[in-house]
Amino acid sequence: MKKKVAILGATGIVGYNFVKILDKHPFFEISELCASKRSKGKKYKDALKGEIDTNISYKTRNMIVKECTPNLDAQYLFSALSPDIAGKIEKDYAEKGYIVFSNAKSHRMKKNVPLIIPEVNWNHISMIDNQKTKGKIITNPNCSTIGLALGIHPIDKYFEIERITVVTLQAVSGAGYSGVSHLQINDNVIPHIEGEENKIINETNKILGNLNFNNEINKRKIKIDVHCNRVPVSNGHSESVFVKFKSNYSFSKIKKIWNNFKPEKRYLDLPSGIKQPIIYFDKNNYPQPKLHRNLAGGMCISIGNLKKSVNFHCQFVLLVHNTVRGAAGSSVLNAEYYYRDFG
């Protein structure tokens, strides 16, 4: 018997990515699609912003969208709600007993809410013991953070990172289906994304932090600088990363660590789990969004062009599919880990 799941905020880009991943999922079955008043009562295919893929199942295409009503016929909820409403709605559902897997920023930095990239810090899941509600809230990080934190985690474990400076070149899908108009971004770069830089700084230090005996996080204190740019790319955030370590490192070791990084065996066969979450390309013009964003169905990140830095120790380029691994895909992976461990 599959677990019933509802998608909150199902008609935006992240919501639609939840639908694409969950439409024929072996553990989960979409039982409810929720969105705002505007979409209420419409068939999903008609409520969706943008055009629906021809290979979404007939049942899902024609499911009637409802509002986020108090009682949903589902056990797990996937939230792609916008941050202005996510906070309250998710909390209400947690109180009612639902397990909420959220992509919204609202609860990410809360003391008792785990912020999880499963291959990196699944052990943080025990933070939910500090949630007093019957249900629980489990969050995944911001799209750029996921790429960065997943990419640096394995080398941080070996060489302890002291400082990072990152410049991002972010895709337009990060701003939603109609978030960036063609007139704005074609032939252009917008050198600012509201609120993004602080998210990357704070979330990274939470994710890489250590869980203490009270199931709280002692955050890392990596010194992080970020500058975010929006570029005319549909999907796939590129990041130019400069890293300084505390211990001795070598380039050959770094490359080996990345290519050998693996999830725990117990989770390897999960539907969204992949054997190699990080692919290192030994080419200076790789990775590129158009070529590599969809590797492993968009669930792995790519790294390339590792070289020496004078102000840090090394510099490299990293690519993450922002709406798959960087959003819906990560949340579903969280749910699969949860399902395996807690049912």
Q: Name every residue whose Cβ is closer than 8 Å to that of residue 116 and which is 6 or more positions away in sequence.
A: 122, 124, 125, 138, 139, 140, 141, 207, 334
Distance CA 82, CA 244 (A): 35
Among 113, 172, 254, 301, binds its own copies (CB under 8 A): 172
Residue 300 as a binder of its own copies (CB under 8 A): the answer is no
**Taking contact as CB under 8 A, which single stretch among the options 39-47, 67-75, 115-123, 171-179 is the one that binds its own copies?**
171-179
Is 237 an active-site residue? yes
Among 85, 109, 167, 257, binds its own copies (CB under 8 A): 167
Residue 215 as a binder of its own copies (CB under 8 A): the answer is no
The distance of closest approach from Cβ of residue 52 to its own copies in the complex, given in angstroms and rounded to an integer, is: 9
Among 48, 128, 180, 270, binds its own copies (CB under 8 A): 180
Q: Measure CA of the first residue to CA of the last residue in the chain; give whole Å.
A: 12
The distance of closest approach from Cβ of residue 36 to its own copies in the complex, given in angstroms and rounded to an integer, is: 18
Distance CA 114, CA 121 (A): 9
Number of residues that bind its own copies (CB under 8 A): 56
Among 2, 250, 285, 341, binds its own copies (CB under 8 A): 285
SS3 302: strand
Per DSSP bridges, beta strands 217-218 and 301-308 are unpaired
Site for its own copies, residues 85 to 124, rule: CB under 8 A: none
Is 313 an active-site residue? no
Which position has the token pair 């912003």?
49
Among 123, 188, 214, 260, binds its own copies (CB under 8 A): 188
CA dihedral (244, 250, 251, 254) positive or negative: negative
Residues 168, 226: contact at Cβ < 8 Å? yes
Residues 220, 305: contact at Cβ < 8 Å? no
**Phi and psi at residue 200, to the nearest 5°:** -60, -45
Distance CA 102, CA 45 (A): 23
Name the residue nearer to its own copies (CB basis): 50 or 83: 50
Site for its own copies, residues 16 to 75, rule: CB under 8 A: 50-51, 54
The H or E element that residue 138 is part of is strand 136-139
Name the residue nearer to its own copies (CB basis): 184 or 260: 184
Site for its own copies, residues 217 to 236, rule: CB under 8 A: 223-225, 227, 229, 231-234
> For residue 236, is it left (φ>0), alpha (ψ between -120 and 50) or beta?
left
Q: Which of 34, 107, 124, 143 is catalytic?
A: 143
Name the residue nearer to its own copies (CB basis): 96 or 227: 227
Tell which residue, 149, 140, 131, has the closest CA to residue 106.
140
Q: Which of 107, 124, 153, 237 is catalytic?
A: 237
Residues that bind its own copies (CB under 8 A): 50-51, 54, 163-165, 167, 169, 172-173, 177-192, 223-225, 227, 229, 231-234, 238, 240, 242, 284-292, 295, 304-305, 309-312, 315, 317
Which positions are annotated as active-site residues?
Answer: 143, 237
